[in-house]
Amino acid sequence: MRILVQWFYSEREGRVVSPSLFWVFSLAGSFLFLVYGWLRADPVILLGQSLSFYIYIRNLQLKHVWKRVPLPWRIAIVIAPAAVWALAGGSAQTWGGMARQLSGFDVFLILGACGQLLLNLRYLYQWYHSEKAHESVLPLGFWLISAAASVMVIVYGLYRNDPVLLVAQSLGFFAYARNIWLCLKPQRLR
């Protein structure tokens, strides 16, 4: 949903934009994906979502939205990933499933882990550029990393027969490609 929102606003502006709603949906989706990763005993999802969760919060701060959230909600949101990890830590099935996946050499698991890592590291890239600009921005490199990582996760999703990963990344790929086009579009055409 976040990508569709961002795509809509960017199309309306004729350039890549970073709407507040994108970050709100990112945060909510990240929490849901953390829970999904725990339920699937998927280390790629669980570890990946833990990294980007707080970058989403930082973007909401840069958009001046975070302070409008009531303090009790902010506290609950900040500790939410720890709560999911606590649930995962208490589940032998989760850690057993992860251990089975991590044992041995599995090209698809490595590809999926690298793709998920890139999907999350793109937010470090985005965060760096946003701090430099003193506002939330989505630069070209963010979209290039997104597209490459998306393909990797789609392949992993096919291997895992995971419709959630397939739908999320397949839809996202089209928006990433369009945002690349908007970033590369010459200024005179805008």
**What are the pLDDT digits (tens) for 98-127?**
566 556 668 888 898 889 889 888 988 999
- Number of residues that make up the chain: 190
> In terms of DSSP H, where are the helices of the chain?
2-13, 20-39, 43-62, 71-89, 92-102, 107-133, 140-160, 163-184
Structural domain boundaries enclosing 90: 2-189
Q: How far is it, in rounded angstroms, from Cα 110 to Cα 33?
A: 19
Our count of domains for the chain comes to 1
Angle, nearest 10°, between helix axes 20-39 and 43-62? Answer: 160
Question: Structure pTM?
Answer: 0.79
Residue 189 has pLDDT above 70, yes or no: no
- Residue 66: alpha-carbon gap to chain centroid: 18
